[in-house]
Amino acid sequence: MTRLVPAAVLLLGLPFALSDFWLFIAIEVLAFALYAVSFNVLLGYGGMLSFGHAAFFGVGGYAAAILLKRAGLPPMLAFALVPVVALVVSALVALLIGFFSVQRSGIYFAMLTFAFQMLLYTIALKATGITGGDDGMTGLKPPGVLGRPFYYYYYALAIVVPALYVLYRLVSSPFGFTLRALRANPRRVQYIGVNVRAHQLAAFVVSGAFAGLAGGLFALSTGNVFPGWLNWTASATPIVMAVLGGVHTFLGPAVGAAVYVVLEVLISGKTEYWPLAMGVIIVVLVLLMPEGLSGFRRKPA
Amino acid sequence: MIDLVVQQFAWVQSPVVVARQLLAGVSNGMLLFLISAGLSLIFGVLRIINFAHGALFMFGAFVAVSLTALAPETTGAFAAALIGAAAGLAVLGALLESGLLRRIYHAQHEYQLLLTFALVFILGDVAKLIWGREDHSVSVPSLLTGSARALGLTFPTYRLFLIGVGIVVAIALWWVLHRTRWGVFVCAATMDRGMLSALGVNTRWLFTAVFALGAALAGLGGALAAPIVAVGPGLHVQVIIDAFVVVVIGGMGSVLGALVASLLVGIVNAFGILAIPGAAVVLTFALMAVILIVRPHGLFGTPE
């Protein structure tokens, strides 16, 4: 508890200390922290490597954009509905994709999620009338003062912190412990009478839903959403963040997200070769730091 | 509604269009085969999904850009480009395997995936540093320009050449894998690496050689594709996806599967463009998902 107070002071005080530019980056960190932690519910706890998780982040972003631009609702109402719609729509998509994907495990699971993501990417690219096709959707703005980073930051905080708390309670619950057991030895868990696929599917849906929420949040912060969010190269992002922060701690991926986002801002401000720098960072990470930054060889209890 | 559908398929009546699309589909399929055969072999032996394989293909195309620029449109320069791309990529492949990939064979899937992903980003940017951001074009060598006439139809010579090369490579690969001692080791490695190693085969060297062979095939494919695509830094992003779809459909680890699935995907794409413009890609991903669900080891792969 004593560690919560300084953390709360830091998070609540940030808007007074940061410029609008860095506040914008802080909002991005919040969204990606939620994205990476939700992804890690699958990887770190369930031992399921989703290689199509950008699908849900993207679906959440598109759900928010379509709600704001095409639903014809009053801006205030549409905006208020964004978190709910982003959650529900990505949960439904995750239910559909997950239903097929959890039939397989290991690398085949990864490839199924990958195939479905590419399917959605193609749809985002080709359904020009709804998604704007190649140009994506731009000009999304939260109404009123929320359009300013100072206020939007608090809005994002008010969504991300409770969402992380829900996820934390989930992984600390009996359900969460069953997931960890599944990572360690799925066959044995099955033998004691646990429905393995149902647990995996439930984790997949929760993970996808919160990734979608993060996507919706991020779309409104940047004001746009592009099909590239759903392309295969985007699915490396949550994996890098989780592995960078350490997959064996709950908040490790959030730390990884913060480091990743800040590094991207700093490096891409200096050179256009950010992918090259990121590639080198990943190589170093994979070869030298297999437990991530916050890992220190700690395993979940 | 029916009229509209019928209209979409009006080209069926035109043998010229059907023959043209078939040729385009088969020749594109042969290019796909060159890249996916290597991807499949590497997965079969090394158990690694090499996402950087598209980047190796792109490097092959860029090498062809540089080498053909020495003497544009001459057959000699083009031949040099093909050999240079294959040899150069074999060396690069051997370096990548022995320097990086070798260290993560026993790591978890996410680390393997991340490492080949890192290579995608690194190689993509290195290509930009060397060859710039703009698209390059390579002209068809003088010997292969023009077209051949048969059955009252005309076929571009270069497309026929691509099909010929594909057939030669397929036969050569079959011979190497099934008629040489080295090929027996490779096939054994796809089944049980530990046993092969215990029997005294130097699997370290075998893995390097397989990766180098896969890279050489990708490089050759890239050089062959150079005259019919825009050679730019984004080339690899789409190519790897097509190859990946092929490998999943054909069965990971199976070269025969890669051949059949390459031709299948090439032809489906060529006719899909006519039947449902823009949506042909959806078709191939849907096919890939169905295969993964009902037959995850693919058409010709062996179940785990």
- What does the pLDDT look like over A57-95, one tens digit per residue? 999 999 999 999 888 888 888 899 999 999 999 999 999
Please indicate, yes or no, if residue A172 is contained in any of the structural domains: yes
Q: Chain B residues with CB inside 8 Å of A284's CB?
A: none
Contact A239 B292 (CB under 8 A): no
Q: Which tokens is A112 given? A: 């199924």
Please indicate, yes or no, if residue A203 is contained in any of the structural domains: yes
The C-alpha of B108 sits at a distance from chain A's nearest C-alpha, in angstroms, of 10
Please indicate, yes or no, if residue A86 is contained in any of the structural domains: yes
Other beta carbons within 10 Å of B230 = 12
Measure the CA–CA gap between A187 and B206, rounded to whole angstroms: 34
- Count Cβ neighbours within 10 Å for each residue of B122-131 and write b for 16 or more, e otherwise: bbbbbbbeeb
Contact A107 B109 (CB under 8 A): yes
Question: Taking 60 as the threshold, does the pLDDT of residue B233 lie above it?
Answer: yes
Mean pLDDT of B235-250: 89
CA atoms within 13 A on the CB side of A15: 13
Residues in a beta bridge with B153? B150
Amino acid symbol at B281: V
Q: Which residue of chain A is at minimal alpha-carbon distance from B119? A: A279
Tens digits of residue pLDDT in A198-225 = 999 999 999 999 999 999 999 999 999 9
Mean pLDDT of A177-192: 91
Other beta carbons within 10 Å of B155 = 17
Measure the CA–CA gap between B261 and B247, rounded to whole angstroms: 7
The shortest CB-CB distance from B296 to any of A49, A108, A116 is to A108
- Count Cβ neighbours within 10 Å for each residue of B132-148 and write b for 16 or more, e otherwise: eeeebebebbeebeeee
Q: Which tokens is B243 given? A: 């190859």
Contact A100 B289 (CB under 8 A): yes
Q: How would DSSP label each residue in A75-98?
A: HHHHHHHHHHHHHHHHHHHHHHHH
The C-alpha of A213 sits at a distance from chain B's nearest C-alpha, in angstroms, of 24
Residues in a beta bridge with B156? B147
The alpha carbon of B242 is separated from its chain's Cα centroid by a whole number of angstroms, namely 8
The pLDDT assigned to B9 comes to 66
Please indicate, yes or no, if residue A145 is contained in any of the structural domains: yes
In what helix (H) or strand (E) does residue A203 lie, and over which residues does it extend?
helix A196-222
**CB of B18 within 8 A of CB of B26?**
no
Tens digits of residue pLDDT in A84-125 = 999 999 999 999 999 999 988 888 898 889 989 988 998 898
> How many folded domains does chain A comprise?
1
Tens digits of residue pLDDT in B173-203 = 999 998 999 998 988 888 888 888 888 888 8
**CA dist list (Å): A81 to A131, A144, A192, A219, A228:** 19, 16, 42, 14, 25
Please indicate, yes or no, if residue A147 is contained in any of the structural domains: yes
Measure the CA–CA gap between B163 and B16, rounded to whole angstroms: 19
Tens digits of residue pLDDT in B111-157 = 888 899 999 999 999 999 999 988 988 888 888 887 777 777 778 88
Please indicate, yes or no, if residue A104 is contained in any of the structural domains: yes
- Rounded to two decimals, the pTM is 0.89
Q: Where are the beta strands (DSSP E) in chain B?
A: 147-150, 153-156
Q: What is the ipTM of this complex?
A: 0.85
Please indicate, yes or no, if residue A265 is contained in any of the structural domains: no
The C-alpha of B114 sits at a distance from chain A's nearest C-alpha, in angstroms, of 7
Please indicate, yes or no, if residue A99 is contained in any of the structural domains: yes
Nearest CA to A111 out of B251, B52, B289 is that of B289
Contact B121 A275 (CB under 8 A): yes
Amino acid symbol at A211: A
Domain, as residue range, for A39: 18-231
